[in-house]
Amino acid sequence: MKRILVTGGAGFIGSHLCERLLNEGNDVICLDNYFTGSKDNIRHLLDNHNFELVRHDVTTPYYAEVDEIYNLACPASPPHYQYNPIKTMKTSIYGAMNMLGLAKRTRAKILQASTSEVYGDPSIHPQVEAYWGNVNPIGIRSCYDEGKRASETLFMDYHRQNGVRIKIIRIFNTYGPRMNPNDGRVVSNFIVQALRNQDITIYGNGSQTRSFQYVDDLIEAMTRMMATDDSFIGPVNTGNPGEFTMLELAQKVIDLTNSKSKICGCSGGVRFVFCGRQGPLHLSVHPVLRNQGAGGRAWNSTLPAE
């Protein structure tokens, strides 16, 4: 049995990770300040004797004897991380420093949950881990993007200077149970609009593409990454290799919810309605997750968009 610390453990992704680690027979400490996390996400775990819930903010140090640390704590959707951008930066940077300090003291292995946002507004598609990005350090999203970039820097420097065993993953769009319906992301926005039979709004002509991974696939990738040899540290992109347009996503949500919603576009301040059923869902395959050398265990998303 391992003793594992999960920061941000009451959040959307963190709660699924805690559940998986407990199912594998581990002793799990869940740390969360409930800014975006919720006790409802982990309420079903509270009776498990191997689960410990601690209300704590990672901007202040935390002390425990642990074998592994998953550092997930940080608001991840624009409405949440822009609510208090200075606190967002503190969470990324101070949180990373405090958890890295704990890992150094306890000789624990630590995984940083970074983000595809470190690539900024990318000029190459798909993004590969060797790409340094096309970033804006002074925009309204920079509190999150630059905070995560700084966290990766801290992880690498603690590894080089102090020999801390680290892992870095970059998470792409993820969906699944326990998503916050008001997090401002495209999947939750579309689903909420469809369930209310409201018009589904798409900005632009709807041809822009995204890829979405189911949360179970992400958790599988995270646990596999933590289990790799110490010589493999990443970063590793975690996502779904299938991309589809916003029009196709909106139509899929309408089909699955049996909604009466219409798909509306908004371009140049002009609102218009897309007429007729959109085409079938076509997925183009590309290696969003390149896990070469990860103990010989290449990983890819397994669940389709539905």
How is residue 146 annotated by DSSP?
Answer: H
The Cβ-side half-sphere exposure at 74, using a 13 Å CA radius, reads 31
Amino acid making up residue 30? C
Task: Return the DSSP state at 238.
Answer: E
CA 181, 184, 188, 193 dihedral sign is: positive
**Residue 99, token pair as written in the block:** 């958890």
Beta strands in the chain (DSSP E): 3-7, 27-32, 51-55, 68-71, 109-115, 166-171, 174-175, 200-203, 209-210, 213-214, 236-238, 242-245, 263-267, 270-273, 284-285
- Our answer to whether residue 144 is catalytic in this structure is yes
Question: Please, what's the b/e burial string for 144-164 (b: 16 or more CB within 10 A of its CB; e: otherwise)?
Answer: bbbbbbbbbebbbebbeeeeb
From the candidates 62, 119, 144, 158, which is the catalytic residue? 144
Of 19, 302, 300, 5, residue with least CA distance to 177: 19
Active site residues: 144
